[in-house]
Amino acid sequence: MREESLAFVAVENVSKTYSDQDSSGGVQVLRDVSVEIAEGEFVCLMGPSGSGKSTLLTILGAMNHPSEGRLVIDGIDVYALSDERRADFRLQYLGFVFQQHHLMPYLNAIENVMLPLATLKLAGIEKRRRALDVLEKVGLGDKASRLPSQLSGGEQGRLAIARALVNDPPLLLADEPTGTLDTKTGDEIMKVFLDLNSLGQTIFMVSHNPANAALVHRVLHIRDGEFEATSDKKDARTVTRLSPAL
């Protein structure tokens, strides 16, 4: 279902309530949240634990159905899609970088990168070519045959980014990608993100690190399921509207 929208990503009045046996009404973790993200924008979401960051990220990741509101990406009402179509949507539109990387320990680097291509009807050689290209892009071209356990923390982070990029997704989602890394390695990962963004990659990142936030176009602050404020650190490329503040 395609919708009219100015922004590439539009979160429209999204609320999320998790059922809870202890409270009859459940636990509301997001309250009427709206935000728009332009193509090519690098957005950082910050907030304390339990503020709703991860829930918003998984909703953006087309994995967590909102209780109210909708998510429109590239004109597609994501949660109007069936479960299987939404899986296809994730494959086509989204790249996900997890905090713990979640690499498959039994697959080598290039196999980990090829993982999202496993369900596609592409020739094996084409899958390998794509995976090698993206490994080169993150600086791991010479470590394609190594297992994740044979890579450093920074290299594992870059490998996770490579896996998220191999299907050439318009939107890259990252859940505290530097959260478990030392400063030097974290900086290394942030540089990869910034390089990608400079090439036009749209990125939405959850982070606790103010130093990372200082490098992005726009920072969203969330607390108790609501946006508190926004701070544009760089020139934003589109109009950003927050709710319910606005």
Partner 1 sequence: MRISTIAFANLRRRKGKALFLASGISIGIGTAVALLSLSGSLREEIGSQLDRFGANIVVTPHSDSLALDYGGISVSGVSFDQHQLSNEDAAGILRIPYRKRLSVVAPKLLGTVEVAGRKTLIAGVDFASELRLKKWWRLNGRAPESATEVLLGYDIARAVSAIEALPGTSGAADQGTAHHSAAPDVFRVTRERVTVGGREHRIAGVIGQTGGPEDRMVFAQLGQVQDLLGRPGQLSVIEVSALCKDCPVEDMVAQIRKELPHANVSAIQQSVRARTEAVDRLTQFSMVVSVVVLAIGALMIFTTMMSAVVERTKEIGVLRAIGFRRTHIIKGLMIEVVIISAVGGVAGWFGGLVASRLALPYFTEAGAQIELRVSLAAFAIAVAMLTGIISSIYPVMRASRLDPSEAVRYV
Q: Where along the sequence are the contacts to partner 1 (CB under 8 A)?
A: 54, 58, 61, 63-64, 83-84, 87-88, 90-92, 94-96, 98, 102, 104-107, 111, 114-119, 124, 127-128, 131, 163-164, 167
Cα separation, 112 vs 159, in Å, equals 8
Amino acid, single-letter form, for residue 121 = K
CB 76 within 8 Å of CB 153:
no
Amino acid, single-letter form, for residue 76 = I
Smallest separation (angstroms) from partner 1 to the CB of 107: 6
Strand, coil or helix: 169: coil
Cβ-based nearer residue to partner 1, 84 or 235:
84
Cβ-based nearer residue to partner 1, 22 or 84:
84
Cβ-based nearer residue to partner 1, 102 or 191:
102
How is residue 27 written in tokens? 């636990």
How many separate helices (H) and strands (E) can be counted in the chain? 7, 10
DSSP symbol at 234:
S
Smallest separation (angstroms) from partner 1 to the CB of 109: 12
Cα separation, 246 vs 13, in Å, equals 12
Cβ-based nearer residue to partner 1, 158 or 217:
158
Q: Locate tokens 């959260």: which residue?
A: 179
Cβ-based nearer residue to partner 1, 5 or 64:
64
Tell me which residue of 143, 144, 142 sits closest to 127, measured CA to CA.
144
